[in-house]
Amino acid sequence: MTRMRIRALSIFALFALTAASARADVVDDAFARGNALAAAGDYAGAVRAYEDAEALLPGRSAALSFNLGTAYAQLGQLGPATYHLRRALQPQAEASVDIAEAARRNLGVVRQRAEVAAAAANLQIDRPETWRDAALSALRSPAFGWLSVSAGWLALLVWVVRSRYREAARSALAGLAAVLAALYLVIGGLHGYALRTELGAPQAIALPAKLEVREGPSIHRKTVFTVQGGSRLSLVERGSGWGRVRLPGGLEGWAPLSELGELAAPPRRLASEPPSP
Amino acid sequence: MRRALPRRRLLQLAGAAGLGLCLSPRTAHADTKSRVVAEIDRDRVEVGEAFELTVQVDSEGERGSEVPEPVLPDLAALGLQVVGMPATYRSTSSSFSFGTGRGSTMTTRTTLTSVYTLVASKPGRFELPVHIMEGKTKVTPPRIPAVEVTGQAAPTEPIPAAADGPTEPQGDIFLWTRLDKPTVFVGEQLTYTLEIYERLPFLQIQLRQLPGFQDFWSEELPQGQMRQAVVGNTAYRVHPGLRRALFPQRAGTLTLSPAEVGIGMRRRITGRPVTVEVKPLPAGAPAGFSPNNVGVYSIRAQADRTNIKVGEPFTLTIAIQGTGNIRVIDPGSWPEMPGLRRYEPKIETDVTTGAQLGGERRYAFLVIPERGGQLTVPPHTFHYFDPATASYQTATSAPIELTVAGDPNAAPTPTTDAPPPPTAAEEEGILAPIVEPATLPRATPSPSWLTPSRWGWGMAGAPVLLALGTAATALWRRFGPDESSRVAAARAAKQRELLAQAERGLASGEGFYPALAQLLQAAAVERAGPEGEGLPRHTLLALLARKGVSSADCDRLRDLLDRCDAARFGARGESASEREAALRTARELLASPTALKPGSSARTPS
């Protein structure tokens, strides 16, 4: 009986390992195929290959997102290029220093091209990121969450146990508790505000070259303004297939969700339909 | 809104129709089922005055059958004009008839009444032969209405435009057209003014038909104010009707058809067509001149900044301002700008409407330097025709010097009108190249345990716990035991602990007497009160005696304490039964109200 169990477990492990390695091989093959096509100048083919790899990749890859964004930038598609380059810089992608530096550089180039295109076609574009955006992005990290929670509980602990000590130590512990409480309030408040801005209005990228934003969630409603592709928008409300978006400057309107790339959502296949299994 | 036909009028018409049927059987054919009656409300009107023609058609037949529409004569040939849409009314009634030996028959009678408002434009007597067609049969009314129009027809012959007002009075109300110039060049502004002269106060004066501005570019100008004027010896009030800036688009004698004004619902007045002579532009136009550029203009060029970098866009604005038809102005071809890439301009026009139409037209270019060094935005030359001097003029903008940081030998990219898609050669060295690791580096992000909701609970937990603890402490202080109760409770607990220790040493004797001695000593000190602290034994016993402890109990206590001392420090050993008896005695002392029981009332010794 025991021998049969060992055999069954061995066969199961063999199948599991084979499937995982096979999937990894397919992802690597698609990535290598994309690299070869990009080296040959076929960026459209490279985009398709990279998106094949991304569809099969179970996790995240900063290199894949970077190559995908760069290939889109080579094709002049500024919206998808911005979307993938920003994904490459997300903390979940765990970009290396080199890839992060290259992604920031390409993002700057794409941004410059988008500003020129927006000025030439008289389109709306988001304002460049400010120190406030960078600060909010940093404050959203879990480290600040842990710091604020720990400071709060530590302050409570110090306040409770201070009565067990003598007067001199008691005043010192009270001061420490006050400092911890201040950390709890300030860092917790900032972290909560950053979380609220992200959860209340997740960031999205305008994917088409010109995104028409309408006064209501319908194709028949009047276009209130047109946004340059690659612009960063806040998705403040969702309807059926439509989302109410807001430019950082405050302009608001409705745009199809299919033309928005949400940075916090799973990746979108933009170049073509996925290959049939 | 068409005035409703008075009921009395309808009854009269119905009566007339019935009378006509009775008295004129020859007019209405015997085999026809439809009849028509026509009538006008006034037999005599003036030119421009409105009257109403009412046509009533009666039709008998099955329910739902159509009623023939009335056919009007050629009104234009009669000098009559229908104003607005006719008002129509329809009514239906049914009747039953019974005959001998036959069944009943139902007859439906439908009446269609149409009211037309007509305006006469020439004098004379005009008949209005209205009829209806029933199949191929023409049905005419029993009486043909006729109207007599008096007065004079409005003149239709055009006259040269005048710059001044009228010199002779023309009735109680008339229209007057003024043009500021009798002769202009093609493209030169001509100011058209329509005024309404009234001698009596008329109500509801409305412009019913605009004058014809064919062959002119027309721009609205602000209207003037109402004023008083004396024509001949007659005082008139002059209403501003219309004011336009006209720009003739071709040479020759051009005619402006008259406007028509309605006064209430019953009167129309028409102006007189006027002509203007339009001269062609003289020969000798410079190369690049556009016939749209007639007026007086100046030009200027401006860059939003002059110290820039290669690839950094800036805005170049070329503005043409002056008087003339500024909306259609043609700036000509833009000069080449070496080292600079220029996109299609964004055009804005500010029009000013005063005595002369004019304003500013701005062309905002997005320009990108393609190489470094000192670059120049060349001057732009603009040709126009000045009608005041009848000569061609040239306006030129000043050149703009740019200081561009970057490689002065960079290869320029071909200029296009739209932002070009990036090519591989263009992007080489701008975009960072793709990365090609041997294997794809990947990350499996694990979701952080500290989700926003957990963080929220964690943040709320500490202050909530602090608040609960504070509240519990306050409640304990408010409703919990006081200090003496807590001391008594602590003392009782200590006694229980020492008794338990003594019981544990009952069999072996180990630790029995120390615990018992400590227990009795503490009980004695407590019984004696604060003054019993630190007293030697005999003094303490004396104090207890003064505090009301009986002498027997004092003796028993002394005996017990001595036994404890002997057992602890002496060589005397006691059996378990003796220890049990000692413990029993100690319990009795501790429980006795007259001995060591805490809270026993003190008695004064006798």
Structural domain boundaries in chain A: 2-121, 134-198
In the stretch 66-105 of chain A, residues with CB closer than 8 A to chain B read 66-67, 70-71, 73-76, 92-94, 96, 98-99, 102-103, 105
Q: Where are the domains of chain B?
A: 7-150, 159-279, 295-417, 492-591
Alpha helix positions (H), A90-200: 97-121, 131-139, 142-161, 167-200
What is d(CA B245, CA B356) in angstroms, rounded to the nearest whole number?
A: 8
What is the pLDDT at residue B570?
Answer: 67
CATH number assigned to the domain covering B295-417: 2.60.40
Burial of B47 (0-12, 13-18, 19+ CB in 10 A): buried
What is d(CA B321, CA B298) in angstroms, rounded to the nearest whole number?
A: 6
* Rounded average pLDDT over B545-570: 84
The CATH architecture of the domain made up of B159-279 is: Sandwich (2.60)
The CATH architecture of the domain made up of A2-121 is: Alpha Horseshoe (1.25)
A-chain residue closest to B366, CA distance: A120
**Are A148 and B461 within 8 A, CB to CB?**
no
- Residue B462 has its nearest CB partner, among A66, A94, A156, at A156
- Residue A120 has its nearest CB partner, among B343, B422, B461, at B343
B483 CB within 8 Å of a chain A CB: no
B67: pLDDT strictly greater than 60: yes
What is the pLDDT at residue B600?
Answer: 55
Q: What is the mean pLDDT of each run of 10 residues along chain A (277 residues)?
A: 58 49 71 91 92 86 93 93 92 87 90 86 84 84 90 90 83 91 93 84 90 90 92 89 87 92 78 46
What is the pLDDT at residue B156?
Answer: 74
The three-point CA angle B52-B55-B56 to 5° equals 140
Residue by residue, DSSP assigns B59-88 as EEESTTPPPPPEE---TTTTTEEE-SPPEE
Q: How confident is the model at residue B571 (pLDDT cuts 50, 70, 90)?
A: low
Q: Is the ipTM of this complex over 0.90?
A: no
* Window from A13-17, B165-169, B182-186, B445-449 with minimum mean pLDDT: A13-17
CB atoms within 10 A of CB B30: 6
What is the pLDDT at residue B3?
Answer: 45
What is the pLDDT at residue B412?
Answer: 57
B287 CB within 8 Å of a chain A CB: no
What is the pLDDT at residue A134?
Answer: 82
| Distance from the A61 Cα atom to the nearest Cα atom in chain B, whole angstroms | 4
What is the pLDDT at residue A73?
Answer: 93
- Residue B452 has its nearest CB partner, among A39, A117, A199, at A199
What is the pLDDT at residue A245?
Answer: 92
What is the pLDDT at residue B2?
Answer: 42
What is the pLDDT at residue A188?
Answer: 93
B545 Cβ contact partners less than 8 Å away, ≥ 6 residues apart: B551, B554, B605
Is-contact B162 B179, C-beta < 8 A? yes
Q: Rg of chain A over CA atoms, in angstroms?
A: 25
B-chain residue closest to A198, CA distance: B452
**Are B450 and A145 within 8 A, CB to CB?**
yes
B425 CB within 8 Å of a chain A CB: no
A266 CB within 8 Å of a chain B CB: no
- Please give the share of chain B, as a percent, with pLDDT higher than 70: 87
Q: How confident is the model at residue B27 (pLDDT cuts 50, 70, 90)?
A: very low
* Rounded average pLDDT over B436-442: 80
Average pLDDT, chain B: 81
Q: What is the pLDDT of residues B220-238, one digit of tens each?
A: 888 888 888 888 888 888 8
What is the pLDDT at residue B535?
Answer: 84
Q: Which residue is it, tokens 């430019």?
A: A247
Strand partners, A210: A228
Q: Which of B453, B459, B465, B477 to mutate to test the interface with A (most CBs of A within 10 A)?
A: B459
* Rounded average pLDDT over B89-112: 73
| Distance from the A94 Cα atom to the nearest Cα atom in chain B, whole angstroms | 7
Superfamily of domain B7-150: Immunoglobulins (2.60.40.10)
Residue by residue, DSSP assigns B307-376 as EEETT--EEEEEEEEEEE-GGG----PPPP-TTEEEPPPEEEEEEEESSSEEEEEEEEEEEEE-S-EEEE
What is the pLDDT at residue B38?
Answer: 92
What is d(CA B472, CA B467) in angstroms, rounded to the nearest whole number?
A: 9
Q: Which residue is it, tokens 């037949």?
A: B61
B606: pLDDT strictly greater than 80: no
Tokens in use for B400? 């703009």
User: DSSP state, B443?
Assistant: B
Q: How confident is the model at residue B423 (pLDDT cuts 50, 70, 90)?
A: very low
- Please report residues of A whose CB lies closer than 8 A to that of B445: 59-60, 92-94
- Please report residues of B whose CB lies closer than 8 A to that of A98: 435
B335: pLDDT strictly greater than 70: yes
B443 CB within 8 Å of a chain A CB: yes
CATH number assigned to the domain covering B492-591: 1.20.120
More reliable by pLDDT, B244 or A167: B244
What's the CA dihedral at A247, A250, A254, A256 to 10 degrees?
A: 10
The three-point CA angle A90-A93-A96 to 5° equals 100
Is-contact B456 A196, C-beta < 8 A? no
- Residue A35 has its nearest CB partner, among B434, B450, B456, at B434
In the stretch 12-71 of chain A, residues with CB closer than 8 A to chain B read 27-28, 31, 35, 38-39, 41, 46, 53, 57-64, 66-67, 70-71
Going by C-alpha positions, the residue among B49, B67, B74, B47 that lies closest to residue B130 is: B74
